Chains A and B, each alone.
Chain A
């Protein structure tokens, strides 16, 4: 199956053609945010204050990269476990985020919110961090530099590989994949 190509800003049309199990290649701009950055963004939303980045149509990658060695734009940069961002994700989606990338399963609330706001959850291969770093052409910190690896980075990527886990139609690759390969326990 051929990979679908995506570049932000992402439209509803882009989202609705994606199905759980599809492989995608992302090029262009993605933003990083993990636990601490999510907490700060959602605090700002609740206070009604302006966010350091505009989320409309954007892609958020859950990652805390390793430090960039000399001459490289970024250190190893694989996805972190997404479940820790579940509490914040519906609010991020309400503010216009269209794609989030991480690894591991999401809550029912997040899956529902993905359908409601026409958005998708992708997984990148956890631990393929050196491979994923090679797709990053440029990286700069755009907010919260004091958070170090947890700062918000703006990354310019070329052919960043990911897989659709939860699409906007309610499908879940983690459930479908396991069903297809599960064997009854040998008694």
Chain B
């Protein structure tokens, strides 16, 4: 059995927290550049120019792309042949978050209680989704999730009879209502299927995909394309100033469904689709 220490995990997590918040991925930068080419509205183009310049400044000055360095969300695929030494996975990840957010001068945006609202001071605890998988490797995916776009999220239990069109209408209508608030051009994460709780995790997980990478099933890839077209016809545009590019991409994740249900969740990401992945 392979052994990994809490310290090894914490060190890797600390680096991922800083990297994700400071350096936007190449594909995500390309998505903004190509949005600038397609955008027709003058204020929309100016927004995209500022966003591209912002990514460059963040990289150069080693500052976070956005001051909202997010709730730290992790998806961990833990190989069953790996034994963790020196503490729990939760302790390891939280220690990494603590270190990464302190050393990277990232904002601490977590309060310890939703109503009494005292800041925990170190951006912990993280939200951790864990899956046991075969093998002796550990895959850690991290996304800092900003509050502004997270607040523009929803879950609805549709009827199976609502079908593809019902889902598309629901998602497009939701993006329309969110309007300028989630910092468009957004990435729209859609979960379909499973239970009330499962579908929300699917929508979140879809946001960790490289921006614009289509669903492997052509049926869902087509649905992603159709939703994207409808969303970009809304006219919201960059930052809601009006324009052609309201979303950079739509990502769908699916899961088997109960015979009576068709759960749908929408989780929106702002234009800064920040995420990192490491295999240890």
Which A residues fall within an 8 A CB radius of B?
21, 23, 36, 63-69, 72, 75-78, 80-81, 83, 103-105, 123, 125-131, 133-134, 148-149, 161, 163, 173-174, 176-186
At the interface with chain A, which of B8-16, B38-46, B132-140, B207-215? B38-46
Instruction: Find the residue from B57, B147, B239, B240 having the highest chain A CB count within 10 A.
Output: B239
Bound together, the chains give a CA A167 to CA B62 distance in angstroms of 36
Bound together, the chains give a CA A185 to CA B171 distance in angstroms of 14
Least CB separation from A82: chain B residue: B181
Known: A178-B234, A183-B233. A76 touches B181 (CB 8 A): no
Q: A21-B241, A105-B180 are in contact. List 10 more A-B contacts (CB 8 A).
A: A64-B68, A81-B147, A104-B240, A127-B270, A129-B66, A173-B43, A177-B235, A177-B242, A181-B235, A186-B233
Bound together, the chains give a CA A123 to CA B237 distance in angstroms of 14
Bound together, the chains give a CA A75 to CA B179 distance in angstroms of 28
- Residue numbers in A under 8 Å from B61 (CB-CB): 72, 130, 134
Q: Is B183 an interface residue (CB 8 A)?
A: yes
Which B residues fall within an 8 A CB radius of A?
40-41, 43, 46-47, 50-51, 53-54, 57-58, 61-69, 105-109, 117, 119, 121, 147-148, 151, 172, 179-181, 183, 229-230, 233-237, 239-244, 270-272
Instruction: Name A129's contact: one of B62, B64, B109, B180 (CB within 8 Å).
Output: B64
Bound together, the chains give a CA A180 to CA B201 distance in angstroms of 36
* Secondary structure call for the A interface: loop
Bound together, the chains give a CA A69 to CA B69 distance in angstroms of 15
Q: List 24 A-B contacts (CB under 8 A).
A: A64-B68, A65-B67, A66-B107, A75-B105, A77-B67, A78-B68, A104-B240, A123-B239, A125-B54, A127-B183, A128-B54, A129-B66, A129-B68, A131-B50, A148-B121, A174-B179, A178-B179, A180-B41, A181-B237, A181-B242, A182-B234, A183-B235, A185-B233, A186-B229
What is the minimal beta-carbon distance from B237 to any residue of chain A, in angstroms? 6
What is the minimal beta-carbon distance from B159 to any residue of chain A, in angstroms? 22
- Residue numbers in A under 8 Å from B62 (CB-CB): 69
Least CB separation from B243: chain A residue: A181
Bound together, the chains give a CA A99 to CA B217 distance in angstroms of 50
Bound together, the chains give a CA A177 to CA B179 distance in angstroms of 11
